[in-house]
Amino acid sequence: MDAAQAVILAGGQGTRLRPLTSTRPKPVVPFLNRPFLAYQLTLLRDHGVRDVILSCSYRVGDVRAALGDGRAFGTRLRYVVEEEPLGTGGGVRNAVDLAGGTVFVLNGDVLTDADLGAMRRFHDAHGSRTTMYLTPVENPRAYGLVETEPDGRLRQFREKPGPDDVLTTNMINAGVYLIDAALLARIPTDRPVSIEREFFPAIIAEGIPAFGWHAPAYWRDIGSPAAYLEGQLDLLGGRARTTLRPPGLASGGNTIGDGVSIDGTAAVTPPCVIGAGVTLAAGSRVGPLTVLGGGVVVARGARVERSIVWERAEIGAEATLDGCVVCADSRIGAGARLASGTVLESGAVVAPNASLPAAV
Ligand code: GDD
Ligand code: MG
């Protein structure tokens, strides 16, 4: 059986990714200067899935503006929109009129290079009706815990176990499923439904063939500022693989956009992605592991490393940034020191010589 379609769940509010999501919805936050979902669309396309349905409910206009009809990513992209959020199960159910056969379903905030073709072969070989990609994590309480039988059958699914629950596994639901679309008809349409808390536990209880699949691969949920930063550093460093290149030309381990102005005494230490129209002034140093969005200005003698900077931000003379996320149009005063964990909302203003995060 072939899975040539995918549904991507992209209707959450991205609360844990604030303040980044105050101005941009989570599915399209910039990721190496591309909208995040472009990485999922590329992974799907690389595994032969070129018909994708985006299940949205929140800030749909912004998502559509960033991804369009999908053609730029080699795929056909359609949108189904909820008037009120229907939950993860309701969001998939809502897309079912456009889907048939065996479909991939993805949480829209997962960065992975998993071999989806191998997952599909596993699904077919086991006569499975729904297969869940499982991955081990260090802190499973923040996720959906999944126990399997020795033959891979799902035994138990526990979404976000409480602090008193005894943990029996560190394998979690990675947020990538193969589902026989006929199974989705059972999801009610008149109320919000959680795929994790309702759909999967019911499938398991009824003995419908449902399996967990695991293979070594990169995996991360990018839904917090720290994970958003780390995910990009992993792509830059090659720990996470993708065939999607950042916009610009590859040069000496960096990617440099159009119309970039780099002073002869400035230095870019790879790997970095420098967006179009960036200005790097005399003596400034950028990298390693840094992404600058379009139009960013790094003033004289400033230093930026291990950081993500969105469009048009201005970094003052002699300022230093390490391990930061800076949203669009921020202005960082001269001599400011921004240490690891600093996250600036769009339009933030940092006073000259300030130190962040401020000591408590
Ligand atoms: N269409 C739609 N409607 N999408 C939704 C809705 C909704 O009402 N609510 C959430 N989503 C989307 C989010 O946009 C996101 O892409 C995905 O569903 C998962 O929601 P999260 O809020 O990110 O869930 P989580 O990270 O706490 O937990 C989920 O992912 C973990 C792996 O990262 C669960 O599936 C866990 O079981 C899993 O381990
Ligand atoms: Mg998530």
181-185, long-range: CB < 8 A, 24+ apart: 181/96, 181/99, 181/100, 181/101, 181/102, 181/103, 183/129, 183/130, 183/208, 184/92, 184/93, 184/96, 184/99, 185/96
Ligand 1 pocket test target in 59, 88, 220 with most atoms within 8 Å of CB: 88
55 lines ligand 1 (CB under 6 A): yes
Q: What average pLDDT score do residues 20-30 get?
A: 94
Superfamily of domain 5-236: Spore Coat Polysaccharide Biosynthesis Protein SpsA; Chain A (3.90.550.10)
Ligand 1 atom closest to the CA of 172, numbered from 1: 39
pLDDT confidence of 96, banded at 50, 70, 90? confident
The pTM score is 0.95
Nearest ligand, CA 10: 1
Q: What average pLDDT score do residues 251-274 get?
A: 97
% of the chain with per-residue pLDDT over 90: 90
Give the model confidence (pLDDT) of 63-88 as tens digits. Answer: 999 999 999 999 999 999 998 889 99
- Pair of tokens at residue 128: 């499975």
Residue 38 scores a pLDDT above 50 = yes
Residue 358 scores a pLDDT above 70 = no
Residue 2 scores a pLDDT above 80 = no
Residue 223 scores a pLDDT above 70 = yes
Residue 274 scores a pLDDT above 70 = yes
- Pair of tokens at residue 341: 């964990």
Return the residue whose CA atom lies nearest to atom 33 of ligand 1.
221
What confidence score (pLDDT) does residue 190 get? 87
Fold of 249-356: UDP N-Acetylglucosamine Acyltransferase; domain 1 (2.160.10)
For the chain, what are the domain ranges?
A: 5-236, 249-356
Measure CA 257 to chain center.
22
Residue 3 scores a pLDDT above 80 = no
Nearest ligand, CA 26: 1
Q: What average pLDDT score do residues 319-347 get?
A: 97
* Ligand 1: centre distance to CA 239 (Å): 24
* Ligand 1: centre distance to CA 292 (Å): 28
Q: Of 95-104, 261-270, 284-293, where does mean pLDDT reach its minimum?
A: 95-104
What confidence score (pLDDT) does residue 162 get? 87
- Pair of tokens at residue 251: 């040069």
Give the model confidence (pLDDT) of 161-219 as tens digits. Answer: 888 888 888 999 999 999 999 999 999 988 999 999 999 999 999 999 999 999 999 99
Give the model confidence (pLDDT) of 41-69 as tens digits. Answer: 999 999 999 999 999 988 899 999 999 99
**In degrees rounded to 5, what are phi and psi of residue 303?**
-130, 130
pLDDT confidence of 1, banded at 50, 70, 90? very low
* Ligand 2: centre distance to CA 221 (Å): 5
CA-to-CA separations, 35 to 12, 54, 64, 65, in angstroms, rounded:
16, 14, 11, 10
Average pLDDT of every residue of the chain? 95
Residue pair 316/335 in contact (Cβ under 8 Å)? The answer is yes
